[in-house]
Amino acid sequence: MANLYKFMGADVADKLMLDESHIGIKFSHLQDYNDPYEFFLTIDYNRSPEELAFYSEMIGMVLKQPATCFAKSPIITPMWAHYAGNSSGFVIEIDEDKLAAHIEEMGHDGSTTFSDVQYQDEPDDIEELLSRAFILGKPRYIYFLQTYIRRAAYLRKQTCWSYEQERRVITSEDALNKVNDWLMLLPVPISCIKSLIVGKNADEKLKDSIRELANKCSAKYLEMVFGRSSTSPFMLKDGIETHVFNEGEIVTPPFYCRECKEPVRHEAKMCAWCSITEVHKQRAAHSNSFRMLEDAGILQEYLTRMQNIGRR
């Protein structure tokens, strides 16, 4: 069972519900996506004008379907920065199996694909396939070539995007509610939602709104937390119960600090940070020789001399 994670800005929260039992997930056509080189990962374009004209013809005949992007993890820090308003937004956790079953019930499973994006900087070697389609022109070779082009166009990105851990859903326009010429929404039953996670910079208005939505969906309400002992963030349920993302699931860890709630590696009442006492602070200050130089009034003179040594 896989879970999908949709990062969203705070401004989307009030527009998320389509009706009492469905949220709307936005779908877009490929040309509206943020990677300008997605179609360039199909073939090496250093070839004759005749071949390029033929290949352009093949691209023009590829079935164009709307798609939407999910991540496979809710704890990707750049995703929070780029797609959730610098951690002021939220993430929706969706059960992929339930979503796929819903699309099947709608009768659109035959035109819908769930697939991971592959990251690469060089095109695949399809020289033989392209040559056969170009030179022989047989329908089966053109079919094979178009099938490859479509998959490469929708599911290839440069390695610089690999941090996104992207998984895409591609479907037909018939499965979507077309609000206007630029907005297409897939109605997703709230029963598909497993949890809603607000970012560490979310304001109280968003927290209240997402908490209310979580209650309506019978889903978990979680708040993202960045601790001090690890670069991996964790989550708190109702500000009390610690959760972590582990092996594709949001779960409770075996050990966590009773003070700050951050996960710890071994059983302990408190993490090392929360275990610091006044005695520890006094000893640290006593061991800091800069304090003695500052008390003697010569710290700035010392720093200047050290900086001058580095310039020589």
- The whole-number pLDDT of residue 207 equals 96
Sequence ranges of the domains in the chain:
3-251, 278-311
Residue 16 pLDDT level (bands cut at 50, 70, 90): very high
- The whole-number pLDDT of residue 302 equals 93
49-61 and 127-136 helices, crossing angle to 10°: 90
Provide the mean pLDDT of the chain: 89
| For range 79-106, the mean pLDDT | 96
Residue 51 pLDDT level (bands cut at 50, 70, 90): confident
- The whole-number pLDDT of residue 150 equals 82
Q: Select the more confidently predicted residue: 50 or 87.
A: 87
- The whole-number pLDDT of residue 8 equals 96
**Looking at the predicted structure, is the pLDDT value of residue 80 above 90?**
yes
184-195 pLDDT per residue, tens: 999 999 999 999
**Looking at the predicted structure, is the pLDDT value of residue 209 above 70?**
yes
pTM: 0.86
211-223 pLDDT per residue, tens: 999 999 999 999 9
